[in-house]
Amino acid sequence: MFVLFSSWRVHLHVIDTKKIKAALCSTSLLKPQKNPLGEFCGVNLLGLKSLFTEPGSSIWALKRKEFDPHFHTAGLVRGYNQISEIASELVEAISCDSGTNITVLMQQHVSSVIAAFIMNMEDKSEFISYTEKMANIFSGLSTRLRHKNTFWMPWAFSEVKKEVLSNLHDVRAFFKSFVLSLNFDEVNLNSCIGSIIKTNMEGDNLMIDLLINELVMFFFAGIDTSIHTISFAFYELLRNKEVLTKIEREIKLVFGDKQSLEYNDFNELKYLDDFIKEVLRYHPIVSSVARETGPSGFILCDKYIPGNTTVHINIECVQKSERFWTDPLKFKVERWIEPPTPFSFIPFSGGTRSCIGKKLALLEIKMFVSSILRKYTIDFDKSDLREIPTKNVITNRLGKDLIVYFKRREQE
């Protein structure tokens, strides 16, 4: 009873864009101290003291300053060749013999991007095999979260918990062996993995557990999100044939018969940019984010919010609100001709703790989608034309497999 009592908090849901901006840009509101992914299973999936889970202290600021340059344009230009190579591997891996589960296809290639870009891994195959375990962890934890009110019958979830813990143990063991295999004298301290190592040193001592937490966090934050955004993108391409045709035409016009593409070529795909924005508006992968007031409360746009309040920002709600969007429930790429109301489009959150991987994710989504459409036509089983519901497994995703039929384009 006491535990229940002590865990009572005030929860505030913010839906006005000015207040959302004030909350997200504030440096006094912090990330929740208790990560909901850790609360129910005794597991802290996103790693304690990682960039994602640090409430907002000076440690977070130091890490963010160190990591940021790798994710800005200059960092992406440096990593462009790695991503481009993976996009070419993806195009070659596509089979035209039978239907392809788009989410499964993306698992392998999106995780390759993280292995190469963040960890500089030469052999990515073992890393890739762990994405399956990540999917199992997510589904186990989401089962647990959905049934959190049945805490009085813990035995109902003991099997799920056992599986989550065993998979997480395997993922951590893999990262541990990766860390131990690194030759620290040879690691380039100006690379992303170099920065991750630097920020997890105490004096001359490497804090191995914290370093593993950071890597596990990038693994969870950077893979699932992009995989499911690309899956939603293919779903919308197949349902909106005129949009698909416009994108195919744009790719042909911009890429022509160039053999090798440069980073800047992708900046010319303006309609594809708008399409990806609409996918992220209509199918936000993260449905909400939260912040907490400290013990003395917080003034949010002239209104006093009491201490220890959780402030929720519902991304899905604001991105589909009639207050900020015309026909919000319609998938309409053309809406992006006009800029949206500030802070009504926040798939990567916004302000201080916005997604560090935003530009990387947008680049890989654009490169993967355009590379595929350049070489293949796509189609799907007509019975899939009906609405596929979204399901939430920690992140939002398609509620059923999307099977895509690829056909190699004739050389023109």
Residues that bind ligand HEM (CB under 6 A): 31, 51-52, 64, 114, 118, 218, 221-222, 225-226, 229, 285-286, 289, 347-349, 353, 355-357, 360-361
- Residue 255 CB, shortest distance to ligand HEM, in Å, is 23
Minimal CB distance residue for ligand HEM: 357
The whole-angstrom separation of Cα 94 and Cα 123 is: 21
- Residue 15 CB, shortest distance to ligand HEM, in Å, is 16
Closest CA to 409 of 383, 381, 382, 371: 371
Residue closer to ligand HEM, measured from CB, 238 or 289: 289
Residue closer to ligand HEM, measured from CB, 254 or 311: 311
Q: From the DSSP assignment, how many helices (H) and strands (E) are in the chain?
A: 17, 12
DSSP 95: -
Residue 183, judged by CB atoms within 10 A of its CB (0-12, 13-18, 19+), counts as exposed
- Residue 1 CB, shortest distance to ligand HEM, in Å, is 31
Lookup result for tokens 């912090």? 30
Residue closer to ligand HEM, measured from CB, 118 or 164: 118
Distances (CA, A) of 274 to 19, 137, 362: 26, 33, 11
Residue 400, judged by CB atoms within 10 A of its CB (0-12, 13-18, 19+), counts as exposed
Nearest 10 degrees: Cα torsion 130, 135, 137, 140: -150
Residue closer to ligand HEM, measured from CB, 54 or 250: 54
Residue closer to ligand HEM, measured from CB, 117 or 174: 117
Helix (H, G, I), strand (E, B) or coil at 57: coil
Residue closer to ligand HEM, measured from CB, 140 or 347: 347
- Residue 183 CB, shortest distance to ligand HEM, in Å, is 24
- Residue 373 CB, shortest distance to ligand HEM, in Å, is 19
Structure tokens at 144: 């647990």
Residue 327, judged by CB atoms within 10 A of its CB (0-12, 13-18, 19+), counts as exposed
Lookup result for tokens 């000076």? 58
Residue closer to ligand HEM, measured from CB, 192 or 378: 192
- Residue 234 CB, shortest distance to ligand HEM, in Å, is 14
Residue closer to ligand HEM, measured from CB, 107 or 225: 225
The whole-angstrom separation of Cα 236 and Cα 244 is: 9
Residue closer to ligand HEM, measured from CB, 161 or 314: 314
- Residue 226 CB, shortest distance to ligand HEM, in Å, is 5
Structure tokens at 399: 């509620």
- Residue 150 CB, shortest distance to ligand HEM, in Å, is 27
- Residue 91 CB, shortest distance to ligand HEM, in Å, is 20
Question: What DSSP string runs through 268-325?
Answer: T-HHHHHHHHHHHHHS-SS-EEEEE--TT-EEETTEEE-TTEEEEEEHHHHHT-TTT-
